[in-house]
Structure 1
């Protein structure tokens, strides 16, 4: 009995010394925002968690801790701190105790009155109570003109470190700070959502897997940030709040895997560093997927020492992947400095954010906050902005390469068509000369010999008709008189020959057409007229054709219209004849306008630039 009495007195003595000398009094005011850690000391225990009593708390060890936040190491199971609040006003003051870490397992606040503990509130993922908002909060009501002592007890499972700010706010200050923080968080998720939509849109256009991987990475990163800032507690039922920690861990792992895979694609590691690329893939499969799946399945059955070994392996794997991507980045910058530099800058923010989180949350070495929010939010936002800019540059590079390739293919196609047209023209000239000079001459000689030996008017007439056919054919193949009579004259002569053998009505007009048009240009236009007429005879089933040749300043124009049956949209430019026409027009740097409506005829306009007026 005496021992119990002595223990109780000793505990009260220790707590009394702490209340008097180990803490500062927090004075209540409308702008109150006080970090509890600065105004108190932390006592920890590595023993099995117990029900908080003043007698039991005396067994806790004083943590020689100069941190400005509360850090409970891997092997700590329970901790407590005390603080004093003084309300010197004549009115009751409403305050709130806010915890920054969303996965607090159990926290109880007691008011110390006459050596007794009076519960004031309990929060945590095992409390079976949902938080109001994304942060855990315990309301505190301070009576007027009263100084009160409070004791806060934190409980957690071994093997899972906890780093958290615990801040005392007045209600007015908390509303203002929360509004600013929620605005910044909303801005972050807005940027992320826009980046995801942008990336999916780019993937839809290009079908490049690098953009799909980036989109998945952004989704995993958004889930991680949402869990880090406590939104998992908002959406999960009260009895499943512990699952939020699982979501948080899985989001870290998946975002890491997806980022590394995304980096492999973007940095073209398979091309520049194939061996390292294969090693990274093996590490991802073996050391992350398999290893972490096994850890999640049997993690609860592991002893503290075994769990620590697994965590060290995990951190070693992450370190290897960071270094691997860094090496790939240095190699890639040599080949593409602009995109590589942007990616390097975004990678720097990602690494700093990840390292600072590990140093803060797992090791408790440092903490960086802006506006009361962890640095990870701002580092991640800068990373996403820079990565999205990088993606935009990559898209520009892809389209530039595609345009270059398309132009190259177009030039090759044009060169082929030009060669084809040129070869066709040369072959026509050869055949025309052969018909006119050789075949025609030989038949004429044969006619004279036959006429000298035999007087048969019918056969002589047949010889004359064959000679005329050969001459007309040679003329159609090689209109040699273009240089003499000009293009309009050559077209008129062609139409006169066609009028003799076809019932098609052809109207032809020429207005201010130059007589000194270059022979190659005139020949190409003549061939275009021939090709268009050939199409009419074969396919159009037309009764009237209108052809016009006229000139403008610095150009000549060929207009060709028929009232035939036209053609469907798919067949407008698919024919070999029309491709030949397009090639000839391209040779002359001209424009080819083709319009055909099924059942309503066809209209063609060829405009060729020229120095003539």
Structure 2
């Protein structure tokens, strides 16, 4: 990308146009034929004005022609001179050239093509000390009409045309590369912003290749409607740019008023374009100027609003605001210059080629920004995916650890309780003490049922969370000394149909175990609340507590938090050293 910018500025800096007039004396005059009724034979009776600064502008035009007459003398007494008369406006409808011997025709409305991209160029050959009078009729219907002229040698014109062709080809190739890449990005991301950039880039390519004479000169020689195509492409080019800017700055969310202004300006421009087409079709050409002024005024408001929105957006998104200002200010200056000049408010000159440079620069700049943003987003997403993967692996390890711990508990219960009783039954059977063995077997069955209930009560399958928990608390209170566990409920249903019922049951036992084992609690209070949108569970103990702000969560609490978050719930813990612990859980109800 940096290489492209370097080449572009290098090429721009080498766009120099020289004029070899050392051997020529030139006297130029012009007259305006407002109704296009003059002929070669009647020119002598018309009033001519001297050509000043090699430039003519008559402003808004409706069916007018401009006649230029050049008297040229070759002052060299020995050598012939060949020069080219060039009119630097590629979108004059027709140019009629007459040197007393031959007639040539060029222009946008003709099938004839100038040999050079610089403009509409006619060759003039003069013998030593020869004089010639050249008449040229230039016509451009229903538009802003201005042009400049120059006399150049063939070498200069060839070099400048080659450089211009190379410059535009280089940039078009870069834009096409970015377009292909952004097409791929669009199919990946389905981003509307990228789609609008693609549309804007396509219109930029079309507009630049029209205004630079690239299409007419190199590709479509016989097409005769480039003038209209230039005007309407420019309008839709600006509209597409404004929509892209609105999305890029997120104006609908951040600056809704400016978003509305831009939206209605674009709507006005579209209506004006459609109306102008109707006017052209019905041949009511006098009304066309009105729609020109409406369109230009809307563009003036649109350019100013986008610039102000970019400045105001600086506090919201500094980077995007700077991107827009850096890219759009050249467009803003050129657009306002063009509109104000069309209104004849300013007279300053601004070379047409600059809009080519601005458009290409802008498309390449935003293509680079979008590509850069996507790569940054891709990297962040990749890093996030790696973090998620690491969290999943950590969760799997935690789950495996829990499973191992629970299996170890079950193994210990079976070994310490059931194993010893089974061995005792076998001894009784060997001693043929059948009655005592039967009694022990019944005790063993009760123990197995009690252990099964402790692990996961059967009543949980029917939604009896409270009964299951009350039963387990009763057993714990009966078996523990100096520890009291209390359960209170507030509007909490006796039977509950939620998928998290098993997890809550095990979490309650885990919290009770932690409070007794690690918290050294003597009194544990459990409170269940039923609200309209969620269930809330609170566990309070009077244990030794800990610094909940500075101490990381242990394995048990971290596992509980993950299980609660899995149900879109909230886990909160507050503890102060030597003042006990409060744990609060909240889980939303099913919708």
Residue 47 (str. 1) matches residue 29 (str. 2): no
Alignment partner, residue 136 of structure 2: 152
What is the alpha-carbon distance in structure 2 between the residues aligned to residue 300 and residue 313 of structure 1? Answer: 19
Residue 245 of structure 1 corresponds to 227
How many angstroms does 1:279 deviate by? 5.2
Q: CA deviation at 1:221?
A: 0.5
Q: RMSD between aligned alpha carbons?
A: 4.0
Tell me the CA shift for residue 310 of structure 1. Answer: 0.7
Aligned equivalent of 1:95, options 67, 83, 95: 83
Residue 241 of structure 2: SS of its match in structure 1?
helix
Report the Cα distance in structure 1 between the residues aligned to 2:19 and 2:347, rounded to whole angstroms. 30
Residue of structure 2 aligned with 1:86, choices 64, 73, 83: 73
Secondary structure (helix, strand or coil) at the match of 1:434 reads helix
Mapped contact 1:163–1:360 kept (Cα < 8 A): no
Q: Name the CA distance, whole Å, in 2 between partners of 1:185 and 1:359.
A: 28
Q: How far 1:166 moved relative to its partner? A: 1.7
Shift in Å, 1:415: 4.8
Q: Residues 116 and 157 of structure 2 are in contact (CA less than 8 Å); yes or no, is this contact kept in structure 1?
A: no
Tell me the distance in 2 between the aligned counterparts of 1:154 and 1:148.
19
Q: Which residue of 2 aligns with 1:342?
A: 323
Of stretches 310-319 and 327-336 in structure 1, the one that deviates more from structure 2 is 327-336
- Check whether the contact 2:26–2:71 (CA below 8 A) recurs between aligned residues: no
Aligned residue in 2 for 1:321: 302
Picking from 410, 414, 432, the partner of 1:435 is 414
- Counterparts of 2:26 and 2:394, CA distance in 1: 79
Deviation at 1:311, TM superposition (A): 1.1
Question: Which structure 1 residue ranges, 5 or more long, are not aligned?
Answer: 1-29, 112-116, 471-613
The structural deviation recorded for 1:305 is: 4.8
Question: For the residues of structure 1 that align with 2:255 and 2:26, how far apart are their CA atoms?
Answer: 51
Aligned CA distance change for structure 1 residues 69 and 439 (closer, same or farther; 3 Å): farther
> How much does 1:262 deviate?
1.6
What TM-score, normalized by structure 2, do the two folds share?
A: 0.62
Residue among 141, 145, 167 paired with 2:125: 141
Mapping of residues 232-311 of structure 1, within 5 Å: 232-234=215-217, 235-236=219-220, 238=222, 240-241=223-224, 243-274=225-256, 276-277=258-259, 280-284=262-266, 286-301=267-282, 303=284, 305-311=286-292
Which residue is equivalent to 1:74? 60
CA distance in 2, matches of 1:202, 1:79: 51
Q: Is the contact made by 1:49 and 1:155 (CA closer than 8 Å) also made in structure 2?
A: no
Q: Which residue of the other structure, out of 359, 368, 372, is the alignment partner of 2:350?
A: 368
Aligned CA distance change for structure 1 residues 38 and 431 (closer, same or farther; 3 Å): farther
Q: Distance in 1 between matches of 2:271 and 2:390?
A: 52
**Aligned residue pairs: how many?**
425
Q: CA deviation at 1:224?
A: 0.4
**1:185 corresponds to 2:168:** yes
Contact 1:349–1:380 (Cα < 8 Å) also in 2 = no
Out of 156, 162, 165, the residue aligned to residue 173 of structure 1 is: 156
Task: Give the CA deviation at 1:225.
Answer: 0.7
Kept in 2, the 8 Å contact 1:37–1:69? The answer is: no
Distance 1:191 1:167 in 2: 32
Is 1:380 the counterpart of 2:353 in the alignment? no
SS at match of 1:125: coil
Shift of 1:258: 1.7
1:125 lines up with 2:104 in the alignment: no
Structure 1 residues 139 and 203, CA gap change in structure 2 (3 angstroms): same
TM-score in terms of structure 1 length: 0.60
| Distance (whole Å) between structure 1 residues aligned to residue 235 and residue 247 of structure 2 | 19
Deviations 1:66-91 (A, max 9, x none): 55422232136122233332221423
Change (3 A) 1:185 1:455: closer
Displacement of 1:33 in angstroms is 6.2
- Asked whether the equivalents of residues 109 and 151 of structure 1 are also in contact (C-alpha less than 8 Å), the reply is yes
Q: SS in structure 2 opposite 1:97?
A: strand
- The match for 1:32 among 20, 31, 41 is 20
CA distance in 2, matches of 1:153, 1:366: 26
Aligned counterparts of 2:33 and 2:19: Cα–Cα separation in 1: 34
Deviation at 1:199? 2.4
- After superposition, what is the alpha-carbon deviation per residue over 1:397-431, rounded to whole angstroms, capped at 9, x for unaligned? 42244235435533553453344223222211221
Structure 2, unaligned stretches of length 5 or more? 1-17, 449-591
Q: Secondary structure of the equivalent of 1:49?
A: coil
Query: Distance in 1 between the 2:214 and 2:25 partners?
Result: 25
